[in-house]
A and B are shown apart, each in its own frame.
Chain A
Amino acid sequence: MKEFTIFFATGARDFWRFVLTHRPAQGGLAIIGLMMLAAVFANVLAPYGAMEAFRDQLHSPASSDHWLGTDSQGRDLYSRLIFGARYTLSIALAATLLSLVAGSVVGALAGYFGRWVDLVLMRLVDFMMSFPSFLLAVVTVAVLGKSLENLIWAVGIAGAPSFARQVRAEVLRLRSLEFVEAAHSLGYSHGRILARHIIPNCLTPIIVLGTLGMGGSILSVAGLAFLGLGGDVFVPEWGLMLKLGWDQSSKGAFQVGVSGACILVTVLGFNLFGDGLRDWLDPRSRSR
């Protein structure tokens, strides 16, 4: 585990110094931090429960009791948005981790072993990329059935190929470096070289890709939920809340407005921060 500790210790200090000079990354970090706080401390921060319905106050406007008013079931919109951060972020995080792990394994194996392993795996990746990724996710949900868990699988699978490609490129670069050659000549096994020499060196690009991928995952999950592929409509996930508001046309307009704004701001946060991370990793990209 030593490689990982060193990576995080030196990387984190260096990165922090970079953040102090990079305005957009600061903004992104602030947004992500706020949303994370909301997600983790939703129970404390939200004045009411996500499912707590006030039957006598349907569609009530903003007031001191209900800061953003209530929805069609009389549930407090502000509280639901806060709990929404928890659901939305964890679903997107699970989906991103799934693409990240699946994509990295495939990409690392293809890049490291080359030859027929590379050929077979990359043809598979090319093939998956011949579907527009959102369509791939839609079809996956159709096959698995409509539910939030299946949304995670769908978005995760649809996102994996692009991770695989980029991790493969990184592994290809590392494979030809001297320290890997040295490890080979010491007679280390492939597993050990991959796990202790190659993967730790790929971690930084993988983390950047993951951060940028979070924004995409949030959008895809919300989009699929909006299309009615999310199953349970009472879960306070932002895409589902947007759909609920949209179904009630003008009465739900405010709900559509605020839940969409939450999605936009959060995705913006991840993209700002991800761009910052990329600039840090590759200073040449900074002018781009």
Chain B
Amino acid sequence: MFAHIARRLLAAVPMLIGISLVSFLLLHALPGDPAAALLGQRATEENKRQFREQAGLNLPLHEQYLRWVSGVMRGDFGDSHASNRPVLKELAERVPATIELAVGAMLFATLIGVSLGILAALKPRSIWDFVCLAFALIGVSMPIFWLGFLVQKLFAGTMKILPFGQRLNYAGWEGFEPQTGFFVIDAIFYYKNLDLTLDVLSHLFLPSLVLATVPMALIARITRSTMLEALKQDYIRTARAKGAKPASVVLKHALRNAFIPIITAITTQFGYLLGGAVLTETIFSWPGLGRYVIEAIEVLDARPLQAGVLLIASTFVLMNLLTDISYSFIDPRLRKREAS
């Protein structure tokens, strides 16, 4: 198994190097002068000339790349010209926001998606089956920015039971200082305040539900089909004949064997979440990483864009790596095959 993990890890290295190359080259690929992309479009010629010298923009590309990468390794992503702040500081605020949103979405998607899929597989051609299939189809066809607008209009506008956008009602909690950047964790463990926690959760609810739509649909569909397959197997009939409890047959015997495709669906959807987060964050004015990338593109701000792309793509690669590795934990047969 360790050989398997080591091989996977090694295969990820060239990917990560490639991603860092692409992120680096973005500086030169953006429309216009790289010096302007670092200093801002209003920089004077004189400033830019001085800056090129100082920032090493006259050096050969490979030396520039090494300089940038060694900076990134030390946590130095450069400065944003739009905000005049180090990118690292901004990432420390943005990344937790996106992780919180993605984890919330994944929870919704997995819980609802897997349950709906199991219900549908247990009673094929029932109303649940129809709901599951219809939902799976509409979910993948949904423009989530539109759905986001509609639910916000309904729950925050008309019914007024949930708040509009943002991560927190900042006006109501003036003394709030983020500690970890994960507002849910801050509210529970640092402030230990129930009202604050509820406020944070109520802000998180709609965005994560909307972001969950597409993964939820796909997870429901895959769970349904793999469970249908698993429930037809002989060992299920044996378990039932032995008199095992119906719930245990479904959850232990069938679900466990249907796990690999479901896990794959869940983790590959994580990559979708990182992409889809751009749209959801825009609709809900959620100050996350996806929004950060778009804002950087709007003002041609190279350093934040490089950092954002680098982070999102490497997370995606690492998630896929974890999926691969997790297989050998879930399915002992794969472990043996690797060993032999």
Residues of chain A touching chain B, judged by Cβ–Cβ distance below 8 Å, are 126-127, 130-135, 138-139, 141-143, 145, 215, 219, 222-223, 226-229, 239, 242, 246, 250, 253, 256-257, 259-261, 263-264, 267-268, 271-272, 275, 287-288
Residues in B neighbouring A250, C-beta threshold 8 A: 157
Q: How far is the CA of A268 from the CA of B271 in the complex (A)?
A: 23
Q: How far is the CA of A127 from the CA of B278 in the complex (A)?
A: 21
With contacts A127-B18, A242-B145, A256-B146 taken as known, whether A145 is within 8 angstroms of B31 at the C-beta atoms is yes
Contact with A along B15-31 (1 / 0, CB 8 A): 10011000000100111
Residues in A neighbouring B278, C-beta threshold 8 A: 134-135, 138, 223, 227
Task: Tell me whether chain B's interface is mostly helix, strand or loop, or mixed.
Answer: helix
| Range, interface on chain B | 35 or more
CB of A222 within 8 A of CB of B150, answer no
Q: How far is the CA of A242 from the CA of B282 in the complex (A)?
A: 13
CB of A130 within 8 A of CB of B18, answer yes
Q: How far is the CA of A239 from the CA of B276 in the complex (A)?
A: 15
Extra contacts, 20 of them, besides A227-B278, A261-B146, A264-B143 (Cβ < 8 A), are A127-B15, A132-B275, A134-B276, A135-B275, A139-B26, A139-B305, A142-B30, A142-B305, A219-B141, A222-B145, A227-B294, A228-B298, A246-B149, A256-B146, A259-B146, A267-B142, A268-B141, A271-B137, A271-B141, A288-B228
Select one of A141, A215, A223, A228 contacting B141, CB under 8 A: A215
Interface status of B153 (Cβ within 8 A of chain A): yes
Residues in B neighbouring A288, C-beta threshold 8 A: 225, 228
Select one of B19, B142, B305 contacting A130, CB under 8 A: B19
Closest 7 CB pairs of A and B: A260-B146, A134-B275, A132-B275, A267-B141, A288-B225, A268-B141, A142-B297
Of residues B145, B150, B278, B294, which shows the largest number of chain A Cβ atoms within 10 Å of its Cβ? B145
Q: How far is the CA of A242 from the CA of B143 in the complex (A)?
A: 11
Distance (whole angstroms) from the CB of A205 to the closest CB of chain B:
20
**B320 — nearest CB in chain A belongs to which residue?**
A130
> What are 10 A-B interface contacts by the 8 Å CB criterion?
A131-B309, A131-B312, A132-B312, A134-B275, A135-B274, A138-B297, A139-B26, A145-B31, A250-B157, A263-B146
Q: How far is the CA of A268 from the CA of B141 in the complex (A)?
A: 5
CB of B18 within 8 A of CB of A287, answer no
Residues in A neighbouring B274, C-beta threshold 8 A: 132, 135
Contact with A along B144-157 (1 / 0, CB 8 A): 01110110010001
CB of B141 within 8 A of CB of A132, answer no
